[in-house]
A = this chain, B = another copy of it.
Amino acid sequence: MTATATGRDLRALFAPESVAVVGASDDPVKWGNWLARGALRAEHRRAVHLVNRRGGEVLGRPAHRSLADLPQSPELVVLAVPPAAIDAAVDDALAAGARAIVAITAGAADGDAGGPRDAALAARVRAAGAVLLGPNCLGVFDAGSELELAAGDLPRGSIGLVSQSGNLALELGLLAAEAGLGFSRFVSLGNQADLEAGEIVSELATHPATELIAVYVEDFRDGRAFAAAARAAREAGKRVLLMAIEHTAATARAVRSHTGALASDAAAIDAACRAAGIERVRTPQELIDLADGLLRARPLAGRRIAVLADGGGHGGIAAGLAQAAGLELPALSPATVGALRTRLPASAAASNPVDLAGGGEQDIRTFDHAAHALLESGEVDALLLSGYFGGYGEYGEAMARAEASVSEALGATARAAGRPLVVHSMFAHTAAGAALRGAGIPVYRSVERAVAALAGLAAAGEAAPDGVPLLPPAAPPVTAVGYAEARALLAEAGVPFVEAATVTSAEDAVAVAARLGYPVVVKALGALHKSDAGGVMLGVRDEAALRAVVADLRARLAPPALSIERTAPVADGVELLIGARRDARFGPIALAGLGGVYAEALRDVAVGLAPLDVARAERLLRSLRAAPLLHGARGRPPADVAAAARALAALSEVAAAHPEIAEIEVNPLLALPDGAVGLDARIVLA
């Protein structure tokens, strides 16, 4: 029994007892032709019915004129029909008793993707207790059940592929084959009218032949459900690799706060990936390269690597790239240097990177001796071998045999050490490259691909993901969202603010200022970007100055009210920005960054799925590039990061409980040596 998180059984989709192909054709340029041929390849294990409205014969078999003519109910119906015929064809399939329908749009684009036609289709399919893949998809493939209802020649292997693009799936297939990898299943999502990416990922998490899940998605639909499914897959021991299209930041959205501008669509995807433990990749090559590393090697226990090369050039280039990618090349201990020296020629550099300096050419077993000393030292988490290895076989038959034998030894060394060995070889596609792959070692043609894979393995080995937080029940919606209301809502939730009072007269202003103590800050309320409009006056020193400021603000801005505030010790703290934005796919996204004038100028922000607990909020703050400022730079006392984290967590709870809030932020939040205090607040309703 195969059941997904939504409880639906997808066996009829992946391993049906019988299949009907509607639109089956003899014409080799029609999709109904290759679908029919694909289905017939498994005729030995399931009934295959071909349907063509003209009847007659197709591919040497009798063709039925309609699904109604079939001798039995087909478990799976594949539709290769024009978009206009989809509605009727789905109804016919349901009437014929189909449990699963794959709706392929035969070569023409579908003008109604995601519209009411799709919603109605999904409703009818669900009412019948069936499932629908598509419409506008490119099919489905299951290596184990020999179900070949998809385009192209897909290599077989252990990767479960979910894709919204057919050509990208084909490219992934070519690259996987080159790396000696392949697919356990391929699911083309199409419009996701019924089956969505998340449900397929849930299903693959329980599929024994799938060891790793690869996803290309353009439209996440319920992003939180997708993230939760990916998290479950990871808990089931299967990594999820995601390639996603980023919509260009804020251009498509109206944005009215710094948070809105900085918590981009791309940042929301990143937040979901970090919460769910999804490995994000940018391109098909990166996806296959990381999959190669995960399937043949394993995530790194840390970021320390050694580089081994025969020649200083390859070692130096690899070392520089690795460091730029965030990997560390520790200095080796005297014991390890000694162990290397006993195994390497005198001319070799027994440092990190290790340069065999011709030692590999003199005795090719030197590569394994050095790899053994490095991987068993306990001083590195992985080894990168870069350069000529793989090409010594070009010198002749004897060298080729020796190289193959060393390849096997290297594989055994890495397995015994329990630490990855990754190879960049100029000769990755020779027999020696195949020998290395056969020995369980990922091999890359260029050093940048090897280093990127290692960096991906290091990221994959870092602390367990935070998990996808549940959204709290919606609180009573807010309607008035001026500065005072925003402050009040956040303060009630636990965000500390500098002491302030709202006044409407100069007399009240003077009374408040006397209570707070001079100098005070005066803000004109009502304007959205108060500081841009000259509506914030700092350091108002005494009553006379206060009266002048009040008069000036009234004359220039005619504000409905003023806020009189205590002056915060800005020079003693670090100005942060904390905020949240509600993303259409992933829900509320919390954000932290440097505040004040630095927020947008430096774009140094960290994001996470809201609500954040205090520990996650603190990790977010500490992940900023500017985090050293919080730890106390140049003799300043460190800031109270825990207090800032409590404020961020409280703000994120407010955002999570208020779906009507599009953007919410405190900017700046002043992180002081003892506590944190908000100096401004803003809410934008959806």
A contact set with B: CB distance below 8 Å: 29, 107-109, 111, 163-168, 170-171, 174, 216, 218, 243, 245-246, 248, 282-286, 309-314, 316-317, 319-321, 323-324, 329, 347, 357-358, 361-362, 387-388, 391, 395, 426, 445-448, 529, 531-534, 596-598, 600-602, 604, 625-629, 633-636
Contact = CB atoms under 8 A, between A and B. Distances in A.
Nearest to A165: B313
Given A283-B321, A312-B165, A313-B165, A532 B635 contact: yes
A168 B170 CA distance: 33
A314 B388 contact: no
Given A107-B361, A358-B107, A167 B282 contact: no
Given A165-B312, A357-B109, A388 B170 contact: yes
B635 A534 contact: yes
Contacts of A358: 107-109
16 contacts: A29-B395, A108-B347, A109-B357, A165-B313, A168-B314, A243-B317, A248-B329, A282-B317, A286-B448, A532-B634, A596-B634, A597-B634, A600-B628, A601-B628, A601-B629, A601-B633
Contacts of A216: 313
Contacts of A633: 597, 600-601
Contacts of A602: 602, 604, 625-626
Nearest to A388: B167
A174 B426 contact: yes
A312 B347 CA distance: 54
Contacts of A636: 597
Contacts of A171: 314, 387, 426
A198 to B, nearest CB: 19
Contacts of A447: 283-285
Find the residue from A310, A314, A329 having the highest chain B CB count within 10 A: A314
Contacts of A164: 313
Contact of A597 (B29, B329, B445, B629): B629
A323 B629 contact: no
A314 B167 contact: yes
Closest 3 CB pairs of A and B: A165-B313, A109-B347, A245-B316
Nearest to A216: B313
Nearest to A347: B109
Contacts of A388: 167, 170
A244 to B, nearest CB: 9
A282 B320 contact: yes
Contacts of A531: 634-635
A438 B108 CA distance: 33
Given A168-B314, A426-B170, A629-B598, A321 B108 contact: no
A493 to B, nearest CB: 26
A445 B166 CA distance: 18
B284 A446 contact: yes
Contacts of A321: 282-283
Contacts of A600: 628, 633
B108 A323 contact: no
B320 A635 contact: no
A533 B601 CA distance: 31
Pick from A218, A309, A320, A627 the residue with the most CB of B within 10 Å: A320
A490 B527 CA distance: 46
A358 B136 CA distance: 12
